[in-house]
């Protein structure tokens, strides 16, 4: 069984990428799969969300720059879940001048032949369309796109899908692409409208469980906990456990909500 590498990506900020990564990774790990989460955002919010706040920890930056191996950078953070932090030099990689190797394959090269004992590698991407996102797309086999239910998110999605198609053409392969509705407010008409637009354009690609907007999800990171620890019996914890099952079992939604 080969490890599945999933880029969690959306070029728009504030759509719940890091919230989705931290909680989904923990829920999948809780179900028994072995998971590595990579923080590819120089802001380092994924590490904070998982309770890793120590400064000057080497991360994926040093692995991409060939200063350390990926295995040397693994930090066990929960049962079955390991983290690779961003590292202080990650922001420098975004501005690397051309070197001997093409800049877009640094992450793919760092991961090559490693982590074969894992089931999943999830890459939490920055909200941009720069070199780091290119590295994630070249390294990944699958894409997971967190979406909020507002009009601007739809505009951003169309731009993102254009980027994905360009990479598919250049790399001559097709990604398995799934969407997850995050920060969903079922009592807002716009939420239902946006979800219906997505169902029309992405049938069979939206994971069956929506992640409903709650204050609890916003509170978790300040305690370095996922929702499964912070409020294990909450609706949000149930949402993420169901979302993990959706992801593992390929459960998607069809038709209008």
Q: Tell me, what's the pLDDT at 111? A: 97
What is 127-195 written as a DSSP string?
Answer: SSSSHHHHHHHHH-SEEEEEE-SSHHHHHHHHHHHHHHHHHHHHHT---EEEEEE-SB-TTSHHHHHHH
In this model, does residue 57 exceed pLDDT 90?
no
* Mean pLDDT, rounded, for 83-108: 82
* Mean pLDDT, rounded, for 66-95: 93
Q: Tell me, what's the pLDDT at 54? A: 85
What is the fold, at CATH topology level, of the domain defined by 4-147+177-249? Rossmann fold (3.40.50)
Long-range contacts formed by 217-221: CB under 8 A, 24+ apart: 217/16, 217/19, 217/23, 220/19, 220/22, 220/23, 220/49, 221/18, 221/19, 221/22, 221/45, 221/48, 221/49
* Mean pLDDT, rounded, for 230-234: 97
Q: How many degrees, rounded to 5, is the angle at CA 183 between CA 178 and CA 185?
A: 115
Q: Tell me, what's the pLDDT at 257? A: 55
* Mean pLDDT, rounded, for 88-102: 73
Q: Tell me, what's the pLDDT at 153? A: 82
Per-chain mean pLDDT for the chain: 92
Confidence of residue 255 (pLDDT cuts 50, 70, 90): low
CB of 159 closer than 8 Å to CB of 76: no
In this model, does residue 97 exceed pLDDT 60?
no
What is 54-80 written as a DSSP string?
Answer: -TT---HHHHHTTSS-TGGG-EEEETT
- Dist CA 164 CA 24 (whole Å): 22
CB of 144 closer than 8 Å to CB of 37: no
* Mean pLDDT, rounded, for 166-187: 94
Q: Tell me, what's the pLDDT at 100? A: 55
Q: Tell me, what's the pLDDT at 183? A: 87
Q: How many other CB atoms are there within 10 angstroms of residue 83's CB atom?
A: 27
In this model, does residue 140 exceed pLDDT 90?
yes
Provide the b/e sequence for 25-61 (b: ≥16 CB within 10 Å). Answer: bbbbbbeebbbbbbbbbbebbbbbbbbbeeeebbbbb
The owner of tokens 């894992």 is: 118
Q: Tell me, what's the pLDDT at 98? A: 53
Q: Tell me, what's the pLDDT at 103? A: 87
- Comparing C-alpha atoms, which of 33, 235, 206 is closest to residue 122? 33
Phi, psi values for residue 211, rounded to 5°: -95, 110
- Dist CA 150 CA 16 (whole Å): 13
Indicate the length of the chain as a whole number.
257
Confidence of residue 99 (pLDDT cuts 50, 70, 90): low
5: three-class secondary structure by DSSP? strand
- What's this model's pTM, rounded to 2 decimal places? 0.95
């Amino acid at each position: 069984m080969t490890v599945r590498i999933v880029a969690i990506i959306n070029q728009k900020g504030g759509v719940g990428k890091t919230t989705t990564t931290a909680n989904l990774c923990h829920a999948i790990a809780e179900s028994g799969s072995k998971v590595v989460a990579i923080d590819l955002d120089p802001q380092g919010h994924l590490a904070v969300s998982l309770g890793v706040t120590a400064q000057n920890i080497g991360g994926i930056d040093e692995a991409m720059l060939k200063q350390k191996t990926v295995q040397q950078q693994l930090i066990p953070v929960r049962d079955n879940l390991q983290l690779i932090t961003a590292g202080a030099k990650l922001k420098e990689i975004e501005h690397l001048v051309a070197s001997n190797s093409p800049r877009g394959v640094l992450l793919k090269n760092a991961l090559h032949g490693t982590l074969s004992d894992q089931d999943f590698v999830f890459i939490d991407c920055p909200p941009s369309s720069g070199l780091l996102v290119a590295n994630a797309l070249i390294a990944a086999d699958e894409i997971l796109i967190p979406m909020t239910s507002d009009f601007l998110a739809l505009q951003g999605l169309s731009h993102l899908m254009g980027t994905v198609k360009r990479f598919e053409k250049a790399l001559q392969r097709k990604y398995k692409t799934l969407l997850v509705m995050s920060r969903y407010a079922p009592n807002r008409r716009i939420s239902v409208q946006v979800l219906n637009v997505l169902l029309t354009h992405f049938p069979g690609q939206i994971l069956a469980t929506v992640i409903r907007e709650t204050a609890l999800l916003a509170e978790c990171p300040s305690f370095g906990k996922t929702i499964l620890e912070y409020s294990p019996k909450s609706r949000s914890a149930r949402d993420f456990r169901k979302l993990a099952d959706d992801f593992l079992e390929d459960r998607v939604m069809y038709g209008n909500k």
